[in-house]
Every structure is written in structure tokens, then in C-alpha cells.
Amino acid sequence: MKKTSTKMAQPKAHSSGTAELLLEIGVEELPYQFIAPALSSLITEAELQFGFYSLSHGSIKAYGTPRRLVLVIDSLAIHQKASTNEAMGPSKSVAFDQAGQPTKAAIGFARSQGVPVESLRVRQTPRGEYLFAVNEDAGRPTKTVLLEILPQIVGTLSFPKAMKWNEAGVRFARPVRWLVALYGGAVLPIEVAGIKAGNKTYGHRVMGNGKAITVSDHSSYCRLLKRQGVLPDQEERRVTIREQLEKICEGAGLGLNADEDLLEQAVFTTECPCAILGSFKLEYLAVPSEVLITSMKEHQGFFSLRDKKSGSLAAHFIAVANNKLKNMSLIREGNERVLAARLADAKFFFDEDRKVRLEDRVKKLAGVTFHQKLGTMAQKQKRLVNLVTIVAPLLKPGTESYETINQCRKAAQLCKADLLTGVVGEFPELQGIMGGEYAKHDGESEAVSQAIREQYLPRSIEGELPRTIGGQVLSLADRLDSVAAFFHVGLVPTGSEDPFALRRHATAIVRIILEGDLRLNLGECIKQARTIVVNDGFKGVAGSEQEGCRRIAEFIFERVRHYGRLKHGLRDDVMEAVLKPAHDKTLDLVDLVLRMKALESVTTKPEFDPLIVGFKRAHRLVEKEQWDRKPVDRARFEHPTESALYQATAKEREKMMSVMTRGEHGQALDTLVRLKPAIDAFFAAVMVNAEDPAVRNNRLSLLQEVDDFFNSFADFSQIVVQGG
């Protein structure tokens, strides 16, 4: 009887001592949203594992379709790197007795390091001669290490939803049906979820022949899968879909409503993408385009199209099928039937909604909960009416304020009523948009309807901002109210947890103000928003009004820091220097960021670091020393440099106040720089802590004048410089 070898096949190595790794996890159809994060996780975990196990490698790539997750690693070393580990033990004098024999200390150290006591080495260190244990690790063959690594990599994959489907008890997004694990063409006999790895994969569920495909490497894997109707590389599918969309649009004379989210969905819901053009009845174009576009996108994953000449929505769509037949008319007709039913529903909701005015829906908001601790949506809307009345004049003072306030009040009175409409019930993402549409239908002014339409802008971190005054006021008021309300009842973000999207609201506040160049006092807005919430009678957390406002301001400042870092590349210490004293002043975010940019610019000047070193010396003295803090007495000056510093400070302070009023922050900082010679001369000539207490106190008062002068622009003690 012939014996069967149980030895693992040897990988085919390149001349460079490397080989290719191919891992495929074959699954039932994955939700498209799960695939991209899983691929990113595969790459990250592979990099961590191979680094930890000292395995050098080339490029790491991950591919994904609805039926497979693939990891490909090029030029993976066939053997771990050899390593030498050294551990220092007791000193030589402790480790050996007078006869030169090892003591218990040496024997115990050797045992703890797993080496013979005679292999311990004596080395000279700055502290004297000490024992060292040296472990030489030649490493293991990569194929052996991979048996440990690959199941760990697969096991780290997590999904928003996971399931168990067999006795193995492993949780995964969908059942695992097959595994491919090849290293240098040889199968790695790993096992995951009760499935043993091999060299066989499967093609397209419809276009393939249903038989297993034997592969030997990445190249044959891609080639054979393409024959079976699968494009495994998502980027290749992305390019294919783009080309198909462009070709269809060009042939039909239509323009595509580009949508990267839809493209991502098409990429990860197909293995063999095939775009087809469909149409719907012209009568549905009477429905607002946002409703039609949303219905096509959210319910069917269809791309909407526009007429190239007029720019209006066209009665056509493009669907990306996961199949390529000789006759695609059946698929097209099926998509048209399904979409027609959806659009009929949307038109019905739209027609029915317009039969009831927004004003008549407002009273029913009392039955809609905003939050269990914060009452109803009717209460929130009432707070917004009060808050926009305060925010609007701060945003746009002058002769037009009265008209602006009335428009903002009207928009606030109606802004949440569309939550009770059929279209918004079907498509929650159309909140505000439909409110603006229905307000316009009800005869409200363009300013009011547009403010309602823009109230939720920006809808994402980088999203479009409100463009009208009314939209800016309503969006700011809505977000300030939400932040103030949740902070009042103690529901604040912690760590990565932010269930009420308060960070997104704060970021939106920052963007609206800064990118809209709105010169309003944010501190006053925060105070009023919080007061209105408190007056609603909700049970809040303990703390004074000042403390509550400060917490909210600091929360928004954190978003200012994030914005300054990403948008302008500002240093953290520069931003902190400007923001730290800002709590006690008018919170004009535009002015604060202008100060940051000016300060960042001046930090590059060669004289800046020495100037800050001198300032910090003065700052530490007035902060640390005990003194009477009386005003400066010029009669007590004993050295000309004292008088010179006093006069220079007064002169430059006057200039600074003048340029600061005009917002010329660069020139304001120049006044500080010009103070450097006087500061340097003062410290070089006099001893601040003089023996005479009166002279000492007077010199500290003079340094306090310098400190106050600097701090009138920013807290320069936060600036990090060499020598400071």
C-alpha cells in the first residue's frame, strides 16, 4: 500500500528568497457597505502581523467583490529575519563569588532567560561590568508562521452585523463557503470557520459554469476568474463602470448626475458590471427633482440624468447590473417596472402633502419627541424662533435687520413642520428640502422657503454651506440649540461616542462662521442659546451659567483647532495661545483665526524665538514671585533700561491698539517684535529681585506691564520655542 505524505508542499521561491501569498475568503453575498472597510482592515492587520513576526514583504493589496475578500502580498520573504535579543542582568560582582563561580543571582538570571549560565557574557557599561544574556533567534520558515498568522488576520475582521451559520461558531458578515490560501503556489492548510483552505475558487454565480476553478497564483487567479465573469479588482470595476456611464451618456446626449456614493455602491454590488439605460414616464417630472433623484438612489441604486441643454432632470436613469446578457432588455424592463412603482408612490406623497399647509402641521409637532430629556419638536422649534431673533441682528446689523429678523422668525416657525409630511417620512434625508418646497407652494417668500431649505446645511463635514442670510441664521440657531440642550442635560460626547452628532454640529457652526466670514459674537449666541434652553424647564446638570457657557465654548474651540489644523496647517501651540484667553473676550471666530494665521507667520522670523524666551522669563517672574502689584512708579527707576522698557511698552501698546482695531494683526505682532531690544537690555542691565523691596516690586510691576501687553494679543506662554 502506497503511503500518503502529510508534509506541506514547499513554496516556489523567487531567486530573491521571496514568494507570493494569495488568500481568498469566499462568502455568500456581502452587503456592499461592508466590503471597503473589510479590505482596509485586511491590509492594516497584515502589515501589523508581518511586522510583528519580522517578515519582510513587498506590496500588500486587497480586492473585494460581493462574494470574495482577497489579500495578495508580493515578495513575502520565505524565512523570518534572524534576531538577537539581549537582556542585562546583575553586576559581575554580584553574579560571581570570589572563586569566580556563578552565584544564585547569575543562575536565576540565566534560568529566567532560558540560556545556560556558562553562556552569559560580561560587558562593560557606564555603571560598571554587568552580565548579559544573548538569545540568537534564527527565525522560522514563513510557511510555518503563516499557519498562525492567516487565521488571526481573518479573525480580526469585524462587521456592523455578523452571524453564526455552522457548528464552528465563528461570527462573520455572511457564511464562509470556501478558502484559498497559496504561498509560492503551494496550499497552506489553514482552517477558518470549519472550512479548510485549498487552491479552488468559484466564478460568477450566473455567468460562471458553477464548477471549481483551480488556481496557482495571483496571475492565474485573475485570468481564470475573468473567464468566469468576475473582475476581482474593484478599481478595474470602477474604471469599467465610469467608462460605461460616459459611453451611455454620450450616446443618449444626456448628462450624468455624478454621485461617488452611488459609484461606490455599484462597484461593490457587482462582479461583472454592466450599465444599462432606462426611462420613466414624463409625468413624474412634475415631482421635485430631489425627490426623484433620492428615490432612484436610495431605493434602487440608479444614477439620475439631466438634459445637457436645459440642465433639468431627464426622464431617464442608468442602472448597473451584475450580469451581462446578449439581450439586456429584460433587465432594463424589470428595472423600469420597479422604479415606476417607486416614483408613483413618491408622486402620491408629494401631491397629498401639498393639500395641507405647513402652518397647519406645526401644532402637531407637539406629538413628535425631540429627546426624552428635552421635550418635543414643538418646544425645539419654539426655542429656534426666540434664538434666531437674537442671532440675526448679530449676523447682519444695520437697516435691513428688521426685515431679516422677520424672515428668520417665519422660517423658524415652519422649519420642522415637514417632518410630518409623507415624502420626508419616506425619505428622511429630504428634511428641509421638502419644507422649503412646501413653503414656496404655500406662498411664503423666497427668503423664507430658501432658509428652510438650507437649515440642515452643511449635511456632512465637507458639505455645501447655506448661502442665504436666513439659511445661515437658521442653521446656526438649530445647531447651537442642539449643542446647548444636550450639554445642559449632561449628554455630551465622550471619547469616540457622539450619538447626537454634536461634534458635527460644532464643526458646522465653525465652518458657517469662518467660511461665511460672519463677524458675530459667538459667546453671546452661546449664552442666549443656553438661557433659552434653561428657561424651558428641563432638569440640567449642576453648574453655573458661566461654567455651562465655558464648556460649550471649549467644545466648539476644539472644532476650531481641528479646522485650523486641517484647513490652514496651523500649529497646535499657536492655536492654543490665541484660544486660551479668548473665553473672557468677544468670541469672534473670524478674528481669532486671523490672529492664529498672523502669529503662525511671525513665528518663522529669526528674532521671534529669542523674543519669546525673553517674554517667558518675564512671565515666569511675575507669575512666581510674591509682590505688592502696585502700579509702576517711574520715580523708582534706577537704571536707564527700566525707563526705556517702560516707554517702549507704552509706545508700542498705543500702536498695537490702533492696528488691532483695524484688524491688521500682522502689524500688531510687529509692535511686539520691536519690543525685543528693550526687553533684552533690561534683563542684561538689572537684577529684578533687587535687595530693596520697593525697587524689586516696581521692577516686577514693570514686567507685568510687558506681560499684559503680550497677552493682549495672545497667551504667548503657550508658544513652544527652543530655550524657552
pLDDT tens-digit series, residues 356-381: 999 999 999 999 999 999 999 999 99
Q: What is the pLDDT of residues 75-115, one digit of tens each?
A: 999 988 877 778 888 988 888 888 889 999 989 998 988 88
Residue 320's nearest CA partner among 258, 262, 279 is: 262
Q: Which helix (H) or strand (E) holds 444?
A: none
Per-residue model confidence (pLDDT) at position 4: 38
Q: What would you report as the CA-atom Rg of the chain, rounded to the nearest whole angstrom?
A: 35
Q: What is the pLDDT of residues 643-665, one digit of tens each?
A: 999 999 999 888 888 888 888 88
d(CA 461, CA 335): 34
* 176 to 29, 64, 135, 186, 462: CA distances (angstroms): 10, 14, 42, 22, 37
Look up residue 666 and give its amino acid.
Answer: G
For residue 455, what is its C-alpha cell? 437649515
Are the beta carbons of 440 and 446 closer than 8 angstroms? Answer: yes
Q: What is the pLDDT of residues 475-528, one digit of tens each?
A: 999 999 999 999 999 999 988 889 999 999 999 999 999 999 998 899 999 999
d(CA 591, CA 662): 11
pLDDT over 80 at 41, yes or no = yes
Q: What is the pLDDT of residues 265-312, one digit of tens each?
A: 999 999 999 999 999 999 999 999 999 999 999 889 999 999 998 999
Residue 123's nearest CA partner among 112, 114, 132, 115 is: 132
Per-residue model confidence (pLDDT) at position 374: 95
* 144 to 7, 19, 45, 245: CA distances (angstroms): 12, 14, 18, 47
d(CA 584, CA 205): 66
Q: Where are the beta strands (DSSP E) in 78-188?
A: 83-91, 121-125, 128-137, 176-183, 186-187
d(CA 283, CA 220): 52
pLDDT-based confidence at 398, cuts 50/70/90?
low
Which residue in the block uniquely carries the three cell numbers 450616446?
251
Per-residue model confidence (pLDDT) at position 709: 87
d(CA 188, CA 657): 75
Residue 9's nearest CA partner among 194, 152, 198, 220 is: 198
Which residue in the block uniquely carries the three cell numbers 448626475?
257
pLDDT-based confidence at 723, cuts 50/70/90?
low
Are the beta carbons of 392 and 405 closer than 8 angstroms? Answer: yes
d(CA 483, CA 486): 5
331-345: average pLDDT: 94
For residue 564, what is its C-alpha cell? 485650523
C-alpha 286 chain-centroid distance: 39
Q: By CB neighbour count within 10 A (0-12 exposed, 13-18 middle, 19+ buried), where does 549 fall?
A: buried
What are phi and psi for residue 240, nearest 5 degrees? -60, -45
pLDDT over 50 at 229, yes or no = yes
Per-residue model confidence (pLDDT) at position 610: 83
How many degrees, rounded to 5, is the angle at CA 249 between CA 247 and CA 251?
70
pLDDT over 90 at 607, yes or no = no
Q: What is the mean pLDDT of the chain?
A: 90
Q: How many CB atoms lie within 10 A of CB 276?
A: 17
- Alpha helix (H) residue ranges in 662-721: 665-673, 676-685, 693-711
Are the beta carbons of 25 and 176 closer than 8 angstroms? Answer: yes
Per-residue model confidence (pLDDT) at position 9: 60
d(CA 460, CA 469): 20
Residue 317's nearest CA partner among 338, 336, 298 is: 336
Q: By CB neighbour count within 10 A (0-12 exposed, 13-18 middle, 19+ buried), where does 339 fall?
A: buried
Q: How many CB atoms lie within 10 A of CB 346?
A: 23
Are the beta carbons of 75 and 20 closer than 8 angstroms? Answer: yes
For residue 355, what is its C-alpha cell? 393639500
Q: Where are the beta strands (DSSP E) in 290-340?
A: 303-307, 313-321
> pLDDT: is 404 or 556 the higher one?
556
Per-residue model confidence (pLDDT) at position 724: 53
Q: What is the pLDDT of residues 178-209, one digit of tens each?
A: 999 999 999 999 999 999 999 999 999 998 88
Q: How many CB atoms lie within 10 A of CB 722?
A: 8
Residue 457's nearest CA partner among 435, 484, 479 is: 479
426-454: average pLDDT: 96
Which residue in the block uniquely carries the three cell numbers 469599467?
240
583-603: average pLDDT: 87
Q: Which helix (H) or strand (E) holds 327?
A: none
- With a CB cutoff of 8 Å and minimum separation 6, the contacts of 425 are 349
Q: What is the pLDDT of residues 622-631, one digit of tens each?
A: 778 777 788 8
Per-residue model confidence (pLDDT) at position 586: 79
Per-residue model confidence (pLDDT) at position 71: 97
> DSSP string spanning 178-229?
EEEEEETTEEP--EETTEE-BSEE---TTTS-SS-EE--SHHHHHHHHHHTT
- With a CB cutoff of 8 Å and minimum separation 6, the contacts of 434 are 288, 290, 291, 353, 418, 421, 423, 424
Per-residue model confidence (pLDDT) at position 616: 82
